[in-house]
Structure 1
């Protein structure tokens, strides 16, 4: 499975936002990395550079590499509706992200690991593909193995203060979540301007 394995704080510092979860390093050094990082923000960026930065932010936030991200864009462009919103919905409905939103991971990386290790069941069947598209009505549940239950309990303790999303019905006692509907744009907070991404790919 392809995924980004490089430095994370450096990426967050480059864009000025925490893309991989809370970071004390980003709080202490809230300027781009490198020798000239403090002065780097003074240089005016081109329209292409701004759009490219928005795309990279969204990619890193959901842990998707370029080839797979382009596939999501092509699927969003093929469907009827607003391409940018559909792109965000496709990313938000990934199984690893749904597990993250349900509190089964304190980060998308932790939720992805839960999926990859076979700890997650979808409608009673084990699914270990992080990019699996969850549909309304699907039930996501933690497997019955003691290791899966123990890991899920630890994650639920870490995320108990995180507010639940309206498009998921989460039962923490049963360690399961049901996707009631597709999330709306106002319920997705990707910290990007998706219209710039659409314009970048449509050039």
Structure 2
């Protein structure tokens, strides 16, 4: 699958913000990447360009490719209500994102890898589909023989999953419950979803 595996700071510099978390390199180079950086004359960005950039940012944050992102948007539109809010709530309900929010992995990319490599269980059964939509009440845990993995143990030790009201987490058993889908107001990612809706509505 064509996923970007290069330096995360390079992507963050495109958007001018630390979309992958704290980034000491971005603090030093908070300008667009490229040979000339800020010195290069840049054209005024069109309305379409602004909308496209916001979509690309959302895709980068959640680690979703275009085809899957478009399908998620179409599902959000079918749900009724506010399409943009539905989109972010559906993205937050992905298994890889829930694993990340619970603190089992330090990043969403690491969470996706843990799921793909069969280290994560849903209701006691191993599930290796990162895009699986977690339902309210389902229990997410670490496979017994995977609990000693350094990446998991390190992430769990330093995580603070209690800051998310829609998630319950038990550090002792390394398992948690997805209580409910979050409200849009609870999702802290800096995404203007209305721009994405306008882009897809063209």
Which has the higher mean CA deviation after the structures are superposed, 105-114 or 162-171?
162-171
Indicate the residue corresponding to 1:48 in structure 2.
48
Helix, strand or coil for the counterpart of 1:100? helix
Give, in whole Å, the separation in 2 of the partners of 1:124 and 1:181.
19
What CA distance in whole angstroms lies between the structure 2 residues aligned with 1:132 and 1:65? 15
| 118 and 148 in structure 1: CA distance in 2 versus 1, 3 angstrom threshold | farther
Q: Which residue does the alignment assign to 2:136? A: 136
Partner residue in 1 for 2:163: 164
Aligned length: 201
Q: Report deviation, 1:35.
A: 2.6
Flag structure 1 segments of 5+ consecutive residues without an equivalent.
none
Q: How many angstroms apart in 1 are the aligned matches of 2:4 and 2:154? A: 25
Deviation at 1:120, TM superposition (A): 0.6
Quote the residue 1:92 is aligned against: 92
Cα-to-partner distance string for 1:87-133 (whole Å, 9 max, x where unaligned): 00110000010011101011111111111111110011101111110
Tell me the TM-score normalized by structure 2: 0.93
**C-alpha contact (below 8 Å) 2:51/2:196 kept by paired residues:** yes
Query: TM-score, length-normalised on structure 1?
Result: 0.92
SS at match of 1:170: strand
Identify unmatched segments of 5+ residues in structure 2: none
Q: Distance between the aligned counterparts of 1:49 and 1:39, measured in 2?
A: 21
- In the TM superposition, 1:33-72 aligns within 5 A as 33-39=33-39, 43-72=43-72
In structure 2, distance between residues paired with 1:6 and 1:35: 17
Counterpart secondary structure, 2:165: coil
Residue 173 of structure 2 is matched in structure 1 by 174
- 2:121 aligned residue: 121
Three-state SS of the structure 1 residue aligned to 2:34 is coil
* Deviation per residue, 1:59-107 (Å, 9 max, x gap): 0000001111101111111111110000001100000100111010111
Return 132-141 or 21-30, whichever deviates more.
Answer: 21-30
Q: CA RMSD in A?
A: 1.7
